């Protein structure tokens, strides 16, 4: 069996979905652990890294969710294409 390019995009889409879910769970974990230390004032530019973790997790979750959706779209678009046929617009 020959591995086609859309197989790699499917693998990448699934991997980024798992990473996005992990980052989504990291948001709640970081907020819970740092709520008393940061007095519930989280900022991307806070002096302590513990108070910045929530925003880093949100940024990473959004980036990986977007990557998952993009690679999923690429997979669906190219998986239905037959060899020798023109790409549908």
| Mean pLDDT, all residues of the chain | 84
Task: Judge contact between 67 and 16, C-beta under 8 A.
Answer: yes
pLDDT of residue 13: 93
Residue 38's contacts (CB-CB under 8 Å, 6 or more residues apart) are 46, 48, 50, 51
pLDDT of residue 84: 55
Cα separation values, 79 from 7, 15, 35, 64, Å: 8, 18, 46, 22
**pLDDT per position as a tens digit, 37-79:** 888 888 888 888 888 888 999 999 999 999 999 999 988 888 7
pLDDT of residue 22: 96
Average pLDDT over residues 1-12: 77
Q: What residues does each domain of the chain span? A: 5-79
């Amino acid at each position: 069996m020959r591995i086609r390019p859309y197989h790699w995009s499917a693998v990448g889409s699934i991997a980024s979905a798992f990473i996005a879910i992990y980052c989504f769970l990291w948001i709640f974990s970081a907020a819970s652990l740092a709520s008393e230390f940061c007095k519930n004032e989280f900022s991307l530019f806070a002096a302590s890294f513990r108070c910045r973790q929530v925003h880093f997790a949100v940024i990473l979750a959004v980036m990986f969710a977007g990557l998952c959706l993009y690679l999923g779209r690429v997979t669906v678009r190219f998986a239905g294409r037959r060899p020798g046929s023109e790409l549908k617009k």
